[in-house]
Amino acid sequence: MLQCTVEESSNNIMIVHVSGEFRIEMIGRVEEVWNRAIEKKPRLIAFDCVHMDYIDSSAIGTLVKFVNSATNKKIEFMLFGLNREVYKIFENARLTRFFGLLTEEEFKSKYLKGN
């Protein structure tokens, strides 16, 4: 079961915390969270994947759609904290360059300083 919550950080950043398995069955729920986040017009939407255990190809397709949506609205989009197995899925699909991927530490250092 996937858990998905949004945190509004200072500096106009929305963090979407995703935990569990991101599969096709949960895309509608994640899209609802995405739509609420993007309505607020943040400068950055970041998916916290520290507790995401798995992602299927349909969910990756949804994230590609989010990248395009964010780009069209001039909102930065990234993923951070992918575990080794999930990162390997992105790597095998040759998507590591398409998505902005950071470690949890890199994300906190770059975007949450002073929070």
20 lies in a domain?
yes
How many independent structural domains does the chain possess? 1
pLDDT digits (tens, 9 = 90+) for 52-101: 999 999 999 999 999 999 999 999 999 999 999 999 999 999 999 899 99
* 109/112 Cα distance (integer angstroms): 6
Residue 10 has pLDDT above 60, yes or no: yes
Residue 113 has pLDDT above 90, yes or no: no
30 lies in a domain?
yes
The domain in which residue 86 lies consists of 14-102
114 lies in a domain?
no
6 lies in a domain?
no
User: Above pLDDT 90, what percent of the chain?
Assistant: 90
* 28/43 Cα distance (integer angstroms): 23
81 lies in a domain?
yes
47 lies in a domain?
yes
115 lies in a domain?
no
Residue 105 has pLDDT above 70, yes or no: yes
CATH number of the domain residue 56 falls in: 3.30.750.24
62 lies in a domain?
yes
Asked if 50 and 15 touch (Cβ cutoff 8 Å), the reply is no
